Amino acid sequence: MVQWLLRVSPFAFLLALASQAEAASVTYQLVNYAADQGGATVSGYFTMRPEPNDADFSVDDVLDWSVTISQGGVSYTTGMSDPGGLLTPVGDIRRTGDELTIAAGQGWMWIQSDGISLSYSRLGADEYSGLAGQIQWDAKPPSMGGTEPWVIARSLGATPVPEPSSLVLCASGMAIVGVLALRRRSS
């Protein structure tokens, strides 16, 4: 019985651990719309608490974020670690498991700091603009890759993290296997 337990237990505990994993965060990568950005590149991410599909984007759910605007070897970055960084969603910015979107007439996302301003506006006339040092664009109306609603960012997927109870179960199982192995060795 001890040999069977020693063979099966580690696999059973790992399987239990994997099945109890829960998403701790979802990361959305900003979409780069080169045709609308006058030669500039936009990159960055939003790491957020997991929410049910088709939820509102809320700053309270953002765990971390960063935005970089670059062109011709010059880059400007802001994010959560920037004391002057500000992330301002207004209106209805939708969040699914796959994308962050803004439908026509529904919302506005403004990202700014001392060195950057990035605006996705769907309130009134559609406008997508960016400003960072000498880098500047103002697309009215932008093509946004032909997406409707506008896709601001796409998900990289959820990061699984085991629940604390699964870790306790795994540790207790490993302790039992260890005790059984010691008892077997000493007899």
Model confidence pLDDT, tens digit, residues 116-142: 999 999 998 899 999 999 999 999 999
Flag whether pLDDT at 15 surpasses 50. Answer: no
**pTM given for the model:** 0.70
Return the higher-pLDDT residue of 133 and 18: 133
The predicted pLDDT at position 24 comes to 78
Domain boundaries, the chain: 1-20+163-187, 24-162
Is the dihedral angle over the CA atoms 47, 52, 55, 58 positive or is it negative?
Answer: negative
Report pLDDT digits (tens) over 23-80: 578 899 999 999 999 999 999 999 998 877 778 888 999 999 999 999 999 999 999 9
The predicted pLDDT at position 149 comes to 92
Is the dihedral angle over the CA atoms 165, 168, 174, 175 positive or is it negative?
Answer: negative
As beta bridge partners, residue 154 has 29, 99
3-state secondary structure of 97: coil
Measured CA to CA, the distance from residue 31 to residue 41 in angstroms comes to: 10
Flag whether pLDDT at 90 surpasses 90. Answer: yes
Measured CA to CA, the distance from residue 105 to residue 131 in angstroms comes to: 23
Instruction: Quickly state the pLDDT bin for 168 (edges 50, 70, 90).
Output: low
Q: 26, exposed or middle or buried, with CB in 10 Å at 0-12, 13-18, 19+?
A: buried
Report pLDDT digits (tens) over 136-164: 999 999 999 888 999 999 998 655 555 56
Which residues, 6+ apart, have CB-to-CB distance to 186 below 8 Å?
Answer: none
The predicted pLDDT at position 131 comes to 94
Return the higher-pLDDT residue of 86 and 176: 86
Distance separating the N- and C-terminal Cα atoms of the chain: 15
Residue 17 identity (one-letter amino acid): L
Specify the residue for token string 């996302």: 109
Helices assigned H by DSSP within 20-153:
none
